[in-house]
Amino acid sequence: MPKREIEARSAAQVRDRLLQVVSDKYQGNQALFGRTYGVSHGALTQWFHRRAPAPPSVPFLLAMAKGRDRVNPAWLLCGWGTPYEPRFIKMRGTPDPQRLAARVAEQDAVIAQLRETLLTKPKKPKRKKTPTPRKTRGRRSPKPRRRR
Can you give the pTM of this predicted structure?
0.56
Amino acid, single-letter form, for residue 84:
Y
pLDDT at 35: 93
CB atoms within 10 A of CB 25: 17
CA 30 to chain centre: 18
| SS3 state of residue 34 | helix
CB atoms within 10 A of CB 56: 21
CB atoms within 10 A of CB 74: 12
pLDDT at 1: 47
Residue 28 falls in which region: left (phi positive, over 0), alpha (psi -120 to 50) or beta: left
Phi, psi of 37 (to 5 degrees): -100, 0
For residues 119 and 69, give the distance between their C-alpha atoms in angstroms, rounded to a whole number.
42
In sequence order, which residues have a C-beta less than 8 Å from that of residue 84 and are 6 or more positions away?
A: 69, 70, 71, 72
Q: pLDDT in tens for each of the 148 residues of the chain? A: 455 677 888 899 999 999 999 999 999 999 999 999 999 999 999 999 999 899 898 899 888 888 888 898 889 988 888 898 876 656 667 777 888 888 888 888 888 888 877 777 666 777 777 666 655 555 566 666 677 6
